[in-house]
Chains A and B, each alone.
Chain A
Amino acid sequence: MSEWVLSLQKEYKVFAPIARRKDVSFQEIMDPDEVILDYKTTTLPPKKFFHLTETLVEYDEEGNFKAPKMDPQEPILLLGVHSCDLNAIMKQDRLFSEDYVDTYYQRRRENSAIIAITCIEPGENCFCGSLGTGPTVEKGYDILLTDIGDGYLVETGSEKGESMIDGLILDEASNEQTAEKNRRVNTASDLLLKSIRMEGLGDHANNNLNHEVWTKIGEEGGLAGCFPCLSCGNCSLVCPTCYCYEVADIPSISLKDGVRRRELDSCQLLEYSKVALNHNFRPERKDRTRNWMICKFGGAGGQMNSSCVGCGRCIKACPAHIDLTEVAKSLWGE
């Protein structure tokens, strides 16, 4: 494995989950042995490689605009992407190519390769099983690895993937080995502690805009022991499908020229819906948390492109202990 990763590093800048303080994070790897493939979850999802900040426009003193120079980028390889995160990447691929093509995003994606990995041991907040986004994945990867005990089952999903294993001496997988993958996927599914009833949830939530659960999470607390939302925006930052961004000009020190940049934003922040004359369309926390939840339930403008993939990061990152699966249960009356 280490040798293989070293050989891939000749062609790609390789990012993989490694230990960072008390958590695991996708970082560029210096030593293949530091890679942790049996991790539970990373602090930030892989969206940080494709959609975090971007320069959109450069303006000069004469008021001319030009697109930023597209320097040739070193191809990157993400090693060890979980199926929930890969599903989120596929959603963003769809969003940024459907009606309009976002060339900035697409360029980063085209310059990337993904080696996904089947989850064998899900984390305590995971619920991909209810959403069909895990523990394993059928498409979207260049290579899919599954730990089957005595080694990894290797499946390729693209020509890029084929070329990445070119030169490796791999045994043909036996029926038992394939069966072992399925057995492990089933075991992982059984280990999932949380679940969500997603079908029709977006519409159901939109039909229950005055449900008491919105007051609980936004103002009073008390849903499965949660506190009211603190409007910190953690949930958006760690959510692999949250793509909303803010755009702002950053002038140079001369103030004569500068750049227009975008960076991730969160609908949980007060300024998100503010317009001229200080009017705010979502001034209350309960408006904003409701907006976010309905978005994750597939009932917002992003439809299924911004809906939940069950990674559980928002549950872990929420300082008020708001649990999206509990919000869904409450809406369904469960």
Chain B
Amino acid sequence: MPRKAMIKEIVEETYDTKTFTFEYVNGEPKGMEFKPGQFAMIYIPGVGEAAISISQDPDELKSLDLTIRNVGSVTGVLFSKTVGDTIGLRGPYGKGWPYEEAKGKNVLVITGGCGNGALRPIVYAQRNDPSRFRYLEVLHGARSPDDHIFRSSYEEEWAKIPNCGILLSSDAVPSGQSWDHKVGFVNSLLKDMRSKPEETYVMMCGPEVMMKFTCLDLLNLGFTQEQIYVSMERRMRCGVGFCGHCQIGSKYVCKDGPVFSYAELQELPDHIVR
């Protein structure tokens, strides 16, 4: 059952992506207790629901941030809403990143496009406690400079977090856009990164095709199938393993995922991350 939630703030990340800050209208906390990597279901009455990874600071329960790209029917209507409007919200659902396991170890975050939203809780966790991970390295790529979400945060905020590094890439730089980072797909950043396979958890979110090739490159660099975790997207209706839509072979993405190890995925059909 969704609960009524109010839009408290909207940040325009790119031309098609916004971060919405929600607060539940009734009850405490106003935000949602969640583990990084879990997702919430947003509900627009009369339109439907959509599963969105949580981009909120995991230590902050007073509101809930969801970074959303305008790509479908539900998100399309959401984008017409303004501060003060209400929608429905329920969650969190799913298993998140190996957040506890990675404590004190190295974390390599690799994201594409708005997939970066699903990893922002990990960056915030390091910001809140810089000894949380031994070293956190973020490789983030997008199609063009204008497709980079959280763009102003990277250098002003994220790069200043102790024990944290960030590398950025853009697939292409159309005329009129400026870019002083790498030009190329996100996996082209792998040769510039300082992360090594030893004692490192890889957390990845982006389009399947990006994750496919980045995983293959990581395996070539000596990373194992077991230390690479990816977040999968599927159609979702219930979020609790009843409706069936999100299943990939023997797994429900809503219940057994959305985060899977690369090793787990190798046994499953109907995806290309192999």
- A residues near B (Cβ < 8 Å) are 56-57, 59, 63-65, 67, 95-96, 99-100, 102, 202, 206, 209, 243-249, 251, 255, 258, 260, 262, 265, 267, 272-277, 281-282, 287, 290-291, 294-295, 299-303, 306
Question: Does B2 make an interface contact (CB < 8 A)?
Answer: yes
Neighbouring B residues of A262 by C-beta, 8 Å: 237, 243
Q: How many A-B residue pairs have CB under 8 A?
A: 124
Question: Does B30 make an interface contact (CB < 8 A)?
Answer: no
CB-contacts of B141-158 with A (<8 A)? none
Q: Are A247 and B269 in contact (CB under 8 A)?
A: no
- Interchain residue pairs with CB less than 8 A apart (11): A63-B45, A65-B3, A65-B4, A67-B1, A95-B242, A267-B244, A272-B245, A287-B270, A291-B269, A294-B249, A301-B246
Main DSSP-derived SS at the B contact region: loop
Contacts known (A63-B45, A249-B47, A301-B247); A57 close to B241, Cβ less than 8 A: no
Neighbouring B residues of A96 by C-beta, 8 Å: 242
B45, B86, B87: residue with the most chain A Cβ atoms closer than 10 Å: B45
Within the complex, which residue of A65, A100, A272, A274 is in contact with B241, where a contact is CB–CB below 8 Å? A100
Among B188-196, B222-230, B250-258, the stretch in contact with A:
B250-258
Main DSSP-derived SS at the A contact region: mixed
Neighbouring B residues of A206 by C-beta, 8 Å: 249-250, 267-269
Report the interface size for chain B: residues with CB under 8 A from the other chain: 42
Q: Are A59 and B46 in contact (CB under 8 A)?
A: yes
CA distance A320 to B240 in the complex (A): 34
Q: Are B1 and A57 in contact (CB under 8 A)?
A: yes
Question: Does B171 make an interface contact (CB < 8 A)?
Answer: no
Q: Are B45 and A99 in contact (CB under 8 A)?
A: no
Q: Are B251 and A301 in contact (CB under 8 A)?
A: yes
Q: Are A245 and B267 in contact (CB under 8 A)?
A: no
- B residues near A (Cβ < 8 Å) are 1-4, 43, 45-50, 71-72, 75, 86-88, 233-235, 237-238, 240-252, 255-256, 267-271
| Residue ID in chain B nearest A282 by CB atoms | B270
| Residue ID in chain B nearest A248 by CB atoms | B48
Neighbouring B residues of A99 by C-beta, 8 Å: 240-241, 255
Contacts known (A100-B242, A206-B249, A281-B270); A275 close to B1, Cβ less than 8 A: no
Neighbouring B residues of A275 by C-beta, 8 Å: 72, 233-235
Q: Are B269 and A290 in contact (CB under 8 A)?
A: yes
Q: Are B244 and A244 in contact (CB under 8 A)?
A: yes
CA distance A100 to B91 in the complex (A): 13
| Residue ID in chain B nearest A63 by CB atoms | B86
Neighbouring A residues of B242 by C-beta, 8 Å: 95-96, 100, 102, 243, 245
| Residue ID in chain B nearest A101 by CB atoms | B240
Q: Are A243 and B244 in contact (CB under 8 A)?
A: yes
CA distance A306 to B241 in the complex (A): 12
Neighbouring A residues of B234 by C-beta, 8 Å: 273, 275, 281
CA distance A133 to B48 in the complex (A): 39
Q: Are B235 and A274 in contact (CB under 8 A)?
A: yes
| Residue ID in chain A nearest B2 by CB atoms | A65
Neighbouring A residues of B270 by C-beta, 8 Å: 273, 281-282, 287, 291
CB distance from A8 to the nearest CB of B (A): 32
CA distance A157 to B235 in the complex (A): 41
Neighbouring B residues of A246 by C-beta, 8 Å: 237, 243, 245
Top 10 A-B pairs ranked by shortest CB distance? A244-B244, A276-B72, A301-B247, A59-B45, A276-B71, A301-B252, A63-B86, A100-B240, A247-B237, A251-B46
Within the complex, which residue of B43, B49, B241, B245 is in contact with A273, where a contact is CB–CB below 8 Å? B245
Q: Are B249 and A272 in contact (CB under 8 A)?
A: no
| Residue ID in chain A nearest B239 by CB atoms | A100
Within the complex, which residue of B3, B46, B86, B241 is in contact with A249, where a contact is CB–CB below 8 Å? B46
Q: Are A265 and B87 in contact (CB under 8 A)?
A: no
CA distance A243 to B243 in the complex (A): 7
Neighbouring B residues of A295 by C-beta, 8 Å: 247
CB distance from A250 to the nearest CB of B (A): 9
Neighbouring A residues of B244 by C-beta, 8 Å: 243-245, 265, 267, 301-302, 306
CA distance A275 to B236 in the complex (A): 9
Q: Are B249 and A299 in contact (CB under 8 A)?
A: yes
Q: Are A281 and B271 in contact (CB under 8 A)?
A: yes
Q: A65-B4, A99-B241, A301-B256 are in contact. List 4 more A-B contacts (CB 8 A).
A: A64-B4, A258-B46, A295-B247, A299-B250
CA distance A13 to B43 in the complex (A): 37
CA distance A274 to B233 in the complex (A): 11
Q: Are A249 and B249 in contact (CB under 8 A)?
A: no
CA distance A153 to B3 in the complex (A): 52
| Residue ID in chain A nearest B3 by CB atoms | A65
| Residue ID in chain B nearest A236 by CB atoms | B244
CA distance A303 to B246 in the complex (A): 14
